[in-house]
């Protein structure tokens, strides 16, 4: 944890970040985007509040940060519940004296939400929006007053390439990600210059939670088949997302506001037609 580039804010206080969806992989503590973001922000000198519904995997992220000499605490809370979100914000105030950075990284996945608009049941539609959009909205709504009191800061929302390109039968997920990008722009206009808000739109990222029960051989073949569709000819690693989030969270991106940054190895700009 030697790189402490963001250690102090303009008032000389240590910076404090909340990362929601910050648990490591739930089976073995393997790679996750939120975990990698929390670890990178801690390396950059933030005190990190890791939030996730998964208690053991969330605790693991905080442990990794502490093992590396950083400062973190874990809260096993649900970002769709107003009182839980208020607890996250009051913890930042009480334990660390303020809040300078929020990274929203939760997402809901279920078999029932992976449907087109005609087939999805209304309850699945609503439950997915409650997490993927409502969880981001609530976290921002209750964090922003404390961020303003703390001298300002940065919000980074994890969106997706699905905000711009529709995956088949992934209707509500795509809608939620498009709304996250619109929410990001809205906050970027309303709260600049004190708070900058940006989003990161990953393409396919290798995480433990999507590896499910595949054997190592099946996983290799799966990743290889996805990689073939990407100009970089490989899938993305979680640290490659975390590095961009950390940049957007830092003063190094001081004039970037309201943007959705694609981190997809060029997938979104590639045309596969052959002439």
Ligand X SMILES: NC(=O)c1ccc[n+]([C@@H]2O[C@H](COP(=O)([O-])OP(=O)(O)OC[C@H]3O[C@@H](n4cnc5c(N)ncnc54)[C@H](O)[C@@H]3O)[C@@H](O)[C@H]2O)c1
What is the H or E stretch that residue 167 is in? none
Q: How far is the CB of 31 from ligand X (least distance, A)?
A: 8
> Cα–Cα distance between 202 and 178 in angstroms, integer?
13
Tokens of 158: 């994890």
Interface contacts to ligand X, rule CB under 6 A: 20-21, 23, 32-34, 51-54, 78-80, 105-108, 131, 135, 158, 160, 202, 204-205, 207, 209
> Cα–Cα distance between 181 and 106 in angstroms, integer?
15
Q: How far is the CB of 156 from ligand X (least distance, A)?
A: 11
Of 223, 145, 225, 252, nearest in space to 190 by CA: 145
Q: How far is the CB of 94 from ligand X (least distance, A)?
A: 20
Which residue, 133 or 146, has its beta carbon nearer to ligand X?
A: 133
Residue in the shown chain whose Cβ atom is closest to ligand X: 21
Catalytic residue among 46, 136, 142, 173: 173
Q: How far is the CB of 4 from ligand X (least distance, A)?
A: 26
Which residue, 33 or 42, has its beta carbon nearer to ligand X?
A: 33
Which residue, 49 or 105, has its beta carbon nearer to ligand X?
A: 105
Sequential DSSP letters for 238-275: HHHHHHHHHHHHSGGGTT--S-EEEESTTGGG------
Beta strands in the chain (DSSP E): 16-20, 47-51, 71-75, 101-104, 153-158, 195-202, 205-206, 236-237, 260-263
Q: How far is the CB of 231 from ligand X (least distance, A)?
A: 17
Spell out the residues 6+ positions from residue 228 whose beta carbon is closer than 8 angstroms to its own: none
In angstroms, what CA-CA distances link 15 with 8, 41, 80, 184?
A: 6, 10, 25, 22
Peptide bond into 193 cis (omega under 30): yes
Which residue, 100 or 128, has its beta carbon nearer to ligand X?
A: 128
Which residue, 40 or 45, has its beta carbon nearer to ligand X?
A: 40
Q: How far is the CB of 11 from ligand X (least distance, A)?
A: 30
Which residue, 45 or 136, has its beta carbon nearer to ligand X?
A: 136
> Cα–Cα distance between 199 and 129 in angstroms, integer?
17
Q: 96 catalytic, yes or no?
A: no
CA 244 to chain centre: 11
Cβ-contact 69, 88 below 8 angstroms: no
- The residues assigned a catalytic role are 173
């Amino acid at each position: 944890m030697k790189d402490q580039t963001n250690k102090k804010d303009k008032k000389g206080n240590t910076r404090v970040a909340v990362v929601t969806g910050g648990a490591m992989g739930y089976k073995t503590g393997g790679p996750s985007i939120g975990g990698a973001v929390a670890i990178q922000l801690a390396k950059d000198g933030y005190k990190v509040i890791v939030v996730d519904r998964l208690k053991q995997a969330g605790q693991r992220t905080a442990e990794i940060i502490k093992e590396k000499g950083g400062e973190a605490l874990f809260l096993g809370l649900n970002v769709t519940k107003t009182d839980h979100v208020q607890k996250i914000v009051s913890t930042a105030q009480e334990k660390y004296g303020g809040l300078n950075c929020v990274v929203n990284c939760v997402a809901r996945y279920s078999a029932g939400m992976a449907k087109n608009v005609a087939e999805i049941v209304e309850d699945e539609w609503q439950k997915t929006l409650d997490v993927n959009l409502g969880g981001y909205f609530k976290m921002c709504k209750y964090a922003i007053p404390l961020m303003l009191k703390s001298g300002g800061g940065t919000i980074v929302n994890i969106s997706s390439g699905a905000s711009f390109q529709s995956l088949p039968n992934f209707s509500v997920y795509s809608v939620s990600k498009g709304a996250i990008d619109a929410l990001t722009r809205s906050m970027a206009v309303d709260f600049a210059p004190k708070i900058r808000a940006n989003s990161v739109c990953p393409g396919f990222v290798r995480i433990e939670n999507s590896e499910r029960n595949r054997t190592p051989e099946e996983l290799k073949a799966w990743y290889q088949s996805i990689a073939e569709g990407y100009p970089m000819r490989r899938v993305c690693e979680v640290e490659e997302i975390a590095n961009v989030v950390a940049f957007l969270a830092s003063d190094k991106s001081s004039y970037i506001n309201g943007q959705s940054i694609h981190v997809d190895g060029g997938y979104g700009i590639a045309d596969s037609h052959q002439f």
